[in-house]
Amino acid sequence: MQIGLDGGEYSWVLNLVFFAFIMIMSLYGQKIQMWQWLKQIEAGLIELKRMAIESRQSAIDTFKEHGTEEEEVAKEIDRWLDYFTIMPVDLDPAGILKRLDHLLDQRRDRFQEFVTDLTPDASNSERMNLENTLEVTQVLSLIFRIVRHFYLLGKKTGSTIMVMQVQMIMPELLRLAKAYSDAMDAFSQGKPIGDGIGPLVVTKLAREYDATPETYVHEVTKEVGYYPIEVEGRTVYAMRATGPGGTVGKPGFAVKKIVEDNKGKIARIITVDAALKLEGEEMGRVSEGTGAAIGDPGPEKHAIEQAATDNQIGIEAIVVKEDEAAAVGVLDKRVLDSLPEVIDRIKIAIRKRTKPGDKIILVGIGNTIGIGL
C-alpha cells in the first residue's frame, strides 16, 4: 500500500477528498455539531413527552374513579397542569420565610380545593394521594415544557449555547423524569414510597413502647401529630405526619410548638429522614449527623433550627440513603431492611445523650403515603 507520497495517477482523488473534508469541517463543523445536538435533544424530548402524556392519562384514570366524568376530569387537569407558585421577593429578606410559608399554605389549600371539587366520593386519605398524583403529573409536564421551550428557541435563534446546555443536562433530566414517571404507580395506588421511611421508623419505635393508633395525638399542626411514649425513663414525643394518606404535613412547626409548650424541658431533637445517596453508596445505608434533616423549601427547617437554638437544645439527624428513583418510587426492600438499625441508633442516641426524666422530640420526616399509624 502507498499513500500520498509519489502517488499514482489516482492520488489526486485522495487529495481532493482530504481537502474537501478539511474545508467542510472548518466551514460547517459548528452547524453539523448543532444538528447533532438538536437530534439528541429531540430524542430526549420524545421520551419526555411520552412520560408526560402517560402520567396525565394515569392521573385522569385515577381521578375519574371518584365520581367525575372523564371529560370533565381531563379538562380540569389540563387547566391545572401549569399551576404556578411565585416565590417571595428576596430583595427584602426580612420575614421572607414567613411569606414563603404563607404562600405554600395558600398553594396547598388551592390543591386541596381542586382535588375535593373533582372527587366528591373520595375519602380523605384517597384525596391526599390524589394530590400527590397531581403533583407528579405537574412535574413531568413542567420538565417537558421547559425542554421543549429551549429546543424550539435554540432551533429558532441558532444559539449554540442554549442548545449545548440543554443537550448536556438531558441525561440528568431524563433520569429525574424517569424516577417520577415510575413513581406515578405508587402515588396513584397509595403504595408506600422510599421517602416514607422517616414516619415508618417513628411508628415502629413507638409501637415497641406500647403506642397504638389510638394513643396518637392528632393535629399538633396541620396533619402532624405524635405518640407520647416512655423510653427508659425519658418522655419521647414521637412525631410524624398522619397516614396512610400521602402527606408530609408541617413537622417543623409541630416541633416548634412542642418546644414552646414544654419551655426549657426538651433536652434533644432527633430528626429521621430519607436522604439522597451518592452514586456508588449502598442503598439503605444508615448515617447520622448534626442538624435538622428535612428537605422542605425552608420555613419548616428554619422553625426547627430556631427552636433548637433559642432553647439550646441538642439536635441530631439520622438518615437512610436512597437514590431518587427509590425515594419517590415504591419502597425498596433494602430501605425497609434498614429499619432495625435506625431504631437501634435512635435508642443509642437517647441513652447516651439524654438523662432519665428528660423530654425528647423524635420526628420522622417524609411522605406518609401507604404508611399506617
Partner 1 sequence: MGIISKILGVVLTASGALILTHAMDPNVGSLSFVLFVVGLLVMSVGFGLLTAGKQKKEVKASLPTVTEIRCNGCDFKEIRDYEKGDYILKPLEMKCPKCSGKMTIEGVYVVREEPDKDRF
Which among 33-41, 67-75, 185-193, 220-228 is the span making contact with partner 1, rule CB under 8 A? 185-193
Residues 26-65 that bind partner 1 (CB under 8 A): none
Helix (H, G, I), strand (E, B) or coil at 310: helix
Decide if residue 276 touches partner 1 (CB under 8 A): no
Q: Angle CA(125)–CA(127)–CA(129) in degrees, nearest 5?
A: 75
Q: Is 99 in the site for partner 1 (CB under 8 A)?
A: no
Tell me which of 202, 269, 319, 326 binds partner 1, using CB under 8 A: 326
Residue 303 CA, chain-centre distance (Å), reads 20
Q: Which three cell numbers stand for residue 363?
A: 420526628
Q: Is 217 or 348 the residue whose CB approaches partner 1 more closely?
A: 217
Applying CB under 8 A, among 46, 91, 290, 333 the residue interacting with partner 1 is 333
Task: Count Cβ atoms below 10 Å from residue 145 Cβ, excluding itself.
Answer: 14
277-296 mask for partner 1 (x: CB under 8 A)? ---x--x-------------
Q: Please choose, from the candidates 50, 325, 177, the residue with its C-alpha nearest in 3D space to the C-alpha of residue 58.
A: 50
Pairing of strands 286-290, 266-276: unpaired
From 191, 257, 347, 353, residue interacting with partner 1 (rule: CB under 8 A): 191
- Please state, in angstroms and rounded to a whole number, the distance separating the CA atoms of residues 62 and 74: 11
> Which H or E run contains 237?
strand 234-241
User: Cis peptide leading into 251, omega within 30 of 0?
Assistant: no
Cβ proximity to partner 1, 106 vs 215, nearer residue? 215
Distance CA 340, CA 8 (A): 80
Stretch in the footprint of partner 1 (CB under 8 A) among 9-17, 101-109, 152-160, 298-306: 9-17
User: Which 227-256 positions form the footprint of partner 1 (CB under 8 A)?
Assistant: 243-244
Query: What span, in angstroms and rounded, lies between the C-alpha atoms of 50 and 44?
Result: 10
**CA 293 to the chain's CA centroid:** 14
State how far the Cα of 35 lies from the Cα of 40, in Å rounded to an integer.
9
Q: Is 200 in the site for partner 1 (CB under 8 A)?
A: yes
Tell me which of 190, 225, 252, 364 binds partner 1, using CB under 8 A. 190
What residues numbered 164-183 form the site for partner 1, per CB under 8 A? Answer: 182
Which stretch in 33-41, 72-80, 82-90, 184-192 sits in contact with partner 1 by CB under 8 A?
184-192
Q: Kindly state the smallest distance separating residue 330's Cβ from partner 1, in Å.
A: 5
Q: Which is nearer to partner 1, 243 or 299 (CB)?
A: 243
Query: Looking at 3-11, 27-35, 66-74, 101-109, which segment touches partner 1 (CB under 8 A)?
Result: 3-11
DSSP 66: G
Q: Which is nearer to partner 1, 66 or 145 (CB)?
A: 66
Burial of 329 (0-12, 13-18, 19+ CB in 10 A): buried
Q: Which residues pair with 318 in a beta bridge?
A: 272, 288
| Contacts with partner 1, residue ranges (CB under 8 A) | 1-4, 7-11, 13-14, 17, 182, 185, 189-192, 196, 200, 203, 243-244, 280, 283, 326, 329-336, 370-373
